[in-house]
Homo-oligomer: A and B are copies of this chain.
Amino acid sequence: MRREAVLELLRQLEANKTTPEKVADRLASLPFEDLGFAKLDHHRSLRSGMPEVVFAAGKTPEQVAAIFVKLAASGVSVLATRASQEHFTAVQETVPTAQHHELARCITLAQNAPPVQGRVTVICAGTSDLPVAEEAAVTAEIFGAEVTRITDVGVAGLQRLLAQLDKLRVADVIVCCAGMEGALPSVVGGLVEAPVIAVPTSVGYGAAFEGVAALLGMLNACSPNITVVNIDNGFGAGYVATLIARGPRSSR
């Protein structure tokens, strides 16, 4: 469409119905996006087939349901995060194939899913960290990764963690969720070669300060293969994990 507008302009020049100067002026005065938008958004087309993400918290059940209806029609997969039971009830009425991931507080609709690419292992320290870990896992799955879950392996019970070593070592990337002192990524990072994405959770009491202790712990982790996302940001960790697991663009 935009290209059409530019072509039309150029065809008039070709037909000598205008002058190069006038066309140059016209080009310069076009709304920015008419030229730049395409370029700026060029990479968006690369993401074709990628799911659309809806942040449900703060939206009414009806609003979320309406978004699902629209996207269901467009054939794209959908991930709604921070979704309540009410959100799901509303979505389910209109898009019955949508799935509820209660623990993860997510709703997904998988359509025309891309081929599974890369292995993401999601590990968490305690059962209280599960909602965040599940958000990461559900995100990674809908974005096309093969996900392995390891739960309840705190650093104070090393044997349980070490028993999962094989699952950890085959992963292309590990998402590691922990609250309280947030020490799990340090230990896991030392056991594997793959990148580890650490997710501090707001789990803990007193001097845990709603995830601050875990966040600081992870930022100071002594293994060099660790990076960190925001407190409780399971979605972000799951998303970037699939980017890494899919492999570098230059080798695709």
Chain A interface residues toward B at CB < 8 A:
3, 6-7, 10-11, 13-14, 16, 19-21, 23-24, 27-28, 31-33, 35-43, 46-47, 53, 58, 118-119, 125-128, 154-159, 162-163, 165-166, 169-173, 180-183, 186-187, 189-195, 197, 200, 202, 204-233, 235-237, 239-240, 243-251
Contacts and interface: CB of A to CB of B under 8 A. Distances in A.
Contact of A13 (B14, B43, B213, B226): B14
A225 B209 contact: no
Contacts of A228: 219, 227-229
Nearest to A118: B248
B227 A240 contact: yes
Number of chain copies forming the complex: 8
Given A24-B7, A119-B248, A229-B228, A220 B204 contact: yes
A219 B181 CA distance: 8
Contacts of A236: 224, 226-227
B7 A159 contact: no
A41 B190 CA distance: 10
A80 to B, nearest CB: 14
